[in-house]
Every structure is written in structure tokens, then in C-alpha cells.
């Protein structure tokens, strides 16, 4: 069993991205990321702080637009328009979830697809589905990068994606499909989850449910990628996989923390630098 060390790989990627930032600097370009953070959700605040710190380490200028949970949709849309037209900003990220009175789709559709470093705009979603270049959501992109770093070729593998969100599961499914895997995608209405996970060479789970994937649900020699982030009663961070009992059956497995999480942030930086490169063309 080998651990897929996302922390180590993300550190290497950040060093490489800092070099790319420095090269862009020679052309007078400082890559810029604008983040919109609405409300005071503790997890969102933590994620945004981590993103801000990571930007610093990669030579990316970042600005956080903090807004109260009572902010109107129009105000957020106005801010996005302002960012879309700001030549010093290459990427826009609206931290999700948004408060209930805000129409998330409208907000995402207002982002300039060329600055959509989260890859959530339907323009980029469509390009991904069609197998064309565009911005790809950071978490599934990070998973693909982690797999390829460890020279794991998904072509021909039976993959099972558990969780069908727009942020993780659906783009993960499309990336795997584009790379030649046969993909099952499971969700809350799946009749028998185990039936799907048990036959998979590659199980990728991102649901947010501690111990969802147990030892009996995974075949011997499987590759297991855990995207879940859960807090235990004792305050420990764990994933969706019963790591202790599943890991001995795997050829490869990601830890939580230190697996996919750091890769997500590294891919956000990479997408922002990619957007900044567009200033040169």
C-alpha cells in the first residue's frame, strides 16, 4: 500500500508556480485573484484564509471581498462586474455556499469565463464535458494531477465516483471519462452503493460522511481517493473512508488530511497563473 502524498506534491507545485509568477513579473504581470466571501460560515472563512496564504507563497496578489450574509444579490453582481473588468485581476472565486436568498447560478454565470478559476461557469463546464481546454474545478483537477504524479494511468480502469455535486463528483466523472476510464457515478438515490464500489479499480469519494466507505465495500488492490472532510466528535479531521481498515486492502490511498485538500489549493493557484498567462496573448 502506498500513500498518495498530496501535501508533498502541492508543495512542489507551489514552488514551480512561484517560478512562473516570477517570469510573468518580467513582463510586468503580477497574477491576481479576487475572492468573494459572503457571511461568516466558519469553514468558508478557514478555506479562504488558506487560499490567501497559498496565493502569497506562489507570488499571486489576492484581494478578499468580505460581505455580510445580508448582502443583496445585486451588490454581489456589481462586485463581480467590477472584478471582471479589472485588468489586474486574472481570477474570480466566489466561495460557496452562498446564503439562501442568493441565486448561486446567477452569481456563477456573471463571472467572466476567462477569469473563472473555479471552473464552475457553464461555459467551462461545457468545455470539460466536450473534452476541450478550459478551466477545470480545482478538486477533481487535483485528483487527476495526484494520480498522474504517481504514474497511475486511469485508462481502462473501472472507476466509481461517489457523490454527484457540480463542484466535485460531476467534473470528476468527466475527467475520468475523458482519460479513458469506465465510470460509475453514485449518489444519494443509488440503490446499492456497495455493489458499485466493490467492483471498482478506482474509488473516489467526496460526500462529507465519515466512514461511508468501509473495508467490505472495496476490492483487494483498489486505488482509493478520499475527498471528504469531516470533523469527529473529538475534533479530528477525517475523510469519508474508514482509513484504518480500508488502507491495508489498497494499492494506493490518499490520507485525510494531507491528500486531496492541499491539491485543491495548488490547482486554484495553477488556474490563476494559467489565467494570467492569457494576458500575454
Task: State how far the Cα of 207 lies from the Cα of 256, in Å rounded to an integer.
Answer: 14
| 93 forms part of the interface with ligand GUN (CB under 6 A) | yes
Binding mask 121-140 for ligand GUN (x = CB under 6 A): -----------------xx-
Bond into 17 cis (ω within 30): no
Stretch that binds ligand GUN, among 18-26, 76-84, 90-98, 153-161 (CB under 6 A): 90-98
Query: Minimum distance between the CB of residue 137 and ligand GUN, rounded to whole angstroms?
Result: 6
**At 154, is the secondary structure helix, strand, or coil?**
coil
Nearer to ligand GUN (CB atom), residue 59 or residue 261: 261
Query: Minimum distance between the CB of residue 109 and ligand GUN, rounded to whole angstroms?
Result: 14
- Pick from 240, 105, 125: which is nearest to 174 by CA? 125
- Pick from 88, 85, 87, 107: which is nearest to 38 by CA? 107
Bond into 257 cis (ω within 30): yes
Nearer to ligand GUN (CB atom), residue 138 or residue 218: 138
**Binding test (CB under 6 A) with ligand GUN, winner from 54, 58, 89, 94:** 94
Distances (CA, A) of 106 to 34, 115, 120, 163: 18, 16, 12, 23
- Pick from 231, 229, 280, 279: which is nearest to 255 by CA? 229
Query: Minimum distance between the CB of residue 280 and ligand GUN, rounded to whole angstroms?
Result: 26
* Residue of 90, 118, 240, 242 with catalytic role: 118
Stretch that binds ligand GUN, among 63-71, 91-99, 175-183, 232-240 (CB under 6 A): 91-99
Distances (CA, A) of 139 to 69, 146, 154, 181, 221: 26, 11, 17, 18, 24
Binding mask 35-74 for ligand GUN (x = CB under 6 A): ----------------------------------------
Residues labelled catalytic: 51, 95, 118
Footprint of ligand GUN (CB under 6 A): 93-96, 118, 138-139, 167
Amino acid at each position: 500500500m502506498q500513500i498518495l502524498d498530496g501535501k508533498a506534491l502541492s508543495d512542489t507545485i507551489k514552488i514551480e508556480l512561484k517560478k512562473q509568477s516570477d517570469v510573468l513579473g518580467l513582463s510586468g504581470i503580477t497574477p491576481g485573484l479576487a475572492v468573494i466571501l459572503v457571511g461568516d460560515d466558519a469553514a468558508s472563512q478557514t478555506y479562504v484564509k488558506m487560499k490567501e496564504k497559498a496565493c502569497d507563497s506562489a507570488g499571486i496578489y489576492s484581494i478578499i471581498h468580505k460581505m455580510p450574509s445580508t448582502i443583496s444579490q445585486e451588490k454581489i453582481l456589481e462586485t463581480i462586474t467590477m472584478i471582471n473588468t479589472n485588468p489586474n485581476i486574472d481570477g474570480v472565486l466566489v466561495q460557496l455556499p452562498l446564503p439562501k436568498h442568493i441565486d448561486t447560478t446567477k452569481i456563477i454565470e456573471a463571472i467572466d469565463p476567462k477569469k473563472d478559476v473555479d471552473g464552475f461557469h457553464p461555459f467551462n463546464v461545457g468545455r470539460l464535458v466536450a473534452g476541450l481546454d478550459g478551466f477545470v474545478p480545482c478538486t477533481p483537477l487535483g485528483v487527476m494531477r495526484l494520480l498522474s504524479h504517481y504514474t497511475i494511468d486511469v485508462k481502462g480502469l473501472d472507476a466509481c465516483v461517489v457523490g454527484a455535486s457540480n463542484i466535485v463528483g460531476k467534473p470528476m466523472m468527466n475527467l475520468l471519462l475523458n482519460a479513458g476510464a469506465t465510470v460509475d457515478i453514485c449518489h444519494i438515490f443509488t440503490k446499492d452503493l456497495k455493489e458499485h464500489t466493490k467492483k471498482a479499480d478506482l474509488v473516489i469519494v467526496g460526500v462529507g460522511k465519515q466512514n461511508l466507505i468501509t473495508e467490505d465495500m472495496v476490492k483487494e488492490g483498489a486505488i482509493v481517493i478520499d475527498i471528504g472532510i469531516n470533523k469527529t466528535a473529538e475534533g479530528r479531521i477525517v475523510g469519508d473512508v474508514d482509513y484504518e481498515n480500508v488502507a491495508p486492502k489498497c494499492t494506493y490511498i490518499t490520507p485525510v488530511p494531507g491528500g486531496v485538500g492541499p491539491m485543491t489549493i495548488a490547482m486554484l493557484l495553477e488556474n490563476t497563473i494559467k489565467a494570467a498567462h492569457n494576458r500575454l496573448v
